[in-house]
Amino acid sequence: MASIINGKEIGQQIRQSIADRVVKLKEQGVTAGLAVILVGDNPASQTYVRNKQKSCEAIGIYSELIKLPEETKEEELLEHIKTLNNRQDIHGILVQLPLPKHINEDNVIATISPDKDVDGFSPISVGKMMLGQDTFLPCTPFGVMKLLEFSGVELAGKHAVIVGRSHIVGKPMGQLLLQKDATVTYTHSKTKDLPSFTKQADILIAAVGRANFITSEHVKPDAVVIDVGINRDENNKLVGDVDFTDVEPIASHITPVPGGVGPMTITMLLYNTVQSAENTLQQDK
């Protein structure tokens, strides 16, 4: 039976330490501030944004929501970002994805100041991460690294296999593991004989976006299995990319869905926002 990696509990521990840092900033006259821009009425996006705002309020971060209609022009959105780039009370800027099809996401992400890119998506942030330089790390992979750290999972010399190659999770995940001396293999939808790769994994990261896709035939005994997926099954139940019931008996550690990686994504967003506020304070000295 696997040890369950509880993202809610670990996230709560980290949030407590972030809250302590928020208090210290306020003592020095700085309130960490996060601005979120939401374009359109995507229900999932609205839920994510609400959760982010509640999480900010819970630990004393100032949160500002800018809601724009679906038909907002790209130029108008970019102007909002430029205004936020220049505001001293805003330390983090997040544009909720996905955006309407007429808006170029790359242009939007590139317009956010790297000093306020708390999502870790900008080309500058990604480049610095690749080089192992100090920067904001993308929140979901960063959260996974914290889960592994808090669970005492040794990474050096271990074989990590990632299923998925998105810019948001798969690609950066591999880089962060590499920096901790893991040996990394990327797999994806075009990989032939996927189980032959995944069964070699000491640490298996599933970020493929397909409900219950990873089964026991993909997993070697005693592997650490991290499930990044959030899907709805045929009964509209929230499930991950990993068939938990099938895989849990043979894994050494496993994350549940919900309650595994999910809570860590917002936790690391809070972490990055407070880090940005602290950076501003350092620059002012």
Active centre residues (catalytic): 52, 96, 119
CB contact at 8 A, 34 and 180: no
Contacts of 268 (CB under 8 A, 6+ apart): 137, 139, 140, 142, 143, 146
DSSP state of 119: T
The beta-strand segments (E) located in 164-269 are: 183-187, 203-206, 224-227, 231-232, 238-239, 253-254
Helices of type H across the chain? 7-27, 43-59, 74-85, 105-111, 123-130, 139-150, 170-179, 194-198, 244-247, 262-284
Q: Retrieve residue 161's tokens.
A: 């296999």
User: How many Å from the N-terminal Cα to the C-terminal Cα in the chain?
Assistant: 52
Q: Is 230 annotated as a binding residue?
A: yes
Under DSSP, is residue 3 helix (H, G, I), strand (E, B) or coil? strand
What angle, 0 to 180 degrees and rounded to 10, lies between the N-to-C axes of helices 139-150 and 262-284?
100
Under DSSP, is residue 18 helix (H, G, I), strand (E, B) or coil? helix
Q: Is 165 annotated as a binding residue?
A: yes
Sequence ranges of the binding site for NADP(+)? 164-166, 230
